């Protein structure tokens, strides 16, 4: 299973449907859809679920708890989204993916202690400079990925299944991120063409990640989390 976690937009579903379908055929564990309005995210997510085959990636909705609930999809929430992960888990149940964003070792440590038992993944970044998010914070580099990996490995309580690195990650620098301890790399810009749409050669681009890393990655399993 590829350790790439693609993030797409509703525009990709509308204007590059073949590329999205191609993405659904690839062996990636999750596919996140990120948009500005709940209605457009809901419409795009419904299309994706219609296209997805039984063995396709788990769909994750960015920000919008109500959309995730309606579809039975996963949810990813950020520091400023106003949704408490424990509350989200109670609404979503134990089976669906739930992720949470952090931007520093300190935020990661706090989230791990507070929400580790209910999260499927904890994201950290931006690792490198990125243009995919206009309000992105300054890049933190690879060292915090290594530090949070050690933190997870030594933590005595329940921990999320995945450490996800995000921000400016490409097939050229992903090997260093994985070597630092990331389980998955979330990617946006590396899968896009010059117009900003999901590229028609998205399969080739994801395969490049695997080829450059050499396939020497830890095995991953999607686990249920407690809803209590």
Q: What are phi and psi of 35, to 5 degrees?
A: -145, 175
pLDDT for residue 62 is more than 60: yes
Asked if residue 116 lies in contact with residue 160, where contact means CB atoms within 8 angstroms, the answer is yes
* Average pLDDT along the chain: 91
For the chain, what is the total number of helices (H) and then of strands (E)?
Answer: 9, 8
Percent of the chain residues topping a pLDDT of 90: 78
pLDDT for residue 227 is more than 80: no
pLDDT at 218: 47
- Lowest mean pLDDT across 10-14, 118-122, 222-226: 222-226
| pLDDT, tens digit, 9 for 90 and up, residues 130-160 | 877 777 789 999 999 999 999 999 998 888 8
Confidence of residue 73 (pLDDT cuts 50, 70, 90): very high
Tell me the mean pLDDT in the region 54-76.
94
Tell me the mean pLDDT in the region 179-190.
95
Question: Between helices 143-154 and 105-115, what is the axis angle to 10°?
Answer: 20
CA angle 223–225–226, rounded 5-degree value: 150
pLDDT at 56: 84
pLDDT for residue 214 is more than 90: no
pLDDT at 188: 96
pLDDT for residue 224 is more than 50: no
**Of 54 and 154, more confident:** 154
Tell me the mean pLDDT in the region 80-100.
94
**Of 211 and 19, more confident:** 19
CA 81 to each of CA 65, 84, 213: distance values in angstroms, whole numbers, following the listed order: 10, 9, 34
- 3-class DSSP assignment, residue 91: helix
Positions of E strands within the chain: 4-8, 30-33, 58-62, 74-77, 98-102, 121-124, 162-166, 184-187
Percent of the chain residues topping a pLDDT of 70: 92
Q: What are phi and psi of 77, to 5 degrees?
A: -125, 155
Question: Between helices 105-115 and 85-92, what is the axis angle to 10°?
Answer: 50
4-213 fold: TIM Barrel (3.20.20)
- 3-class DSSP assignment, residue 198: strand
């Amino acid at each position: 299973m590829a350790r790439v976690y693609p993030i797409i937009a509703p525009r990709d579903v509308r204007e590059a449907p073949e590329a999205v379908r191609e993405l659904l055929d690839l062996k990636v564990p999750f596919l996140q859809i990120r948009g500005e309005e709940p209605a457009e995210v809901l419409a795009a997510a419904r299309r994706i679920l219609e296209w997805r085959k039984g063995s396709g990636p788990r769909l994750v909705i960015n920000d919008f708890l109500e959309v995730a609930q309606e579809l039975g999809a996963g949810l990813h929430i950020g520091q400023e989204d106003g949704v408490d992960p424990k509350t989200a888990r109670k609404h979503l149940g134990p089976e669906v993916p739930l992720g949470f964003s952090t931007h520093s070792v300190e935020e990661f440590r706090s989230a791990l202690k507070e929400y580790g038992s209910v999260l499927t993944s904890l994201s950290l970044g931006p690792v490198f400079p990125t243009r995919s998010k206009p309000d992105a914070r300054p890049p933190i580099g690879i060292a915090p990925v290594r530090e949070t990996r050690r933190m997870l490995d030594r933590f005595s309580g329940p921990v999320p299944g995945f450490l996800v690195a995000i921000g400016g990650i490409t097939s050229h620098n992903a090997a260093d991120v994985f070597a630092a301890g990331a389980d998955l790399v979330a990617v946006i810009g590396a899968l896009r063409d010059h117009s900003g749409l999901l590229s028609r050669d998205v399969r080739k681009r994801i395969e490049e990640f695997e080829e450059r890393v050499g396939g020497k990655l830890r095995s991953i399993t999607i686990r249920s989390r407690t809803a209590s």
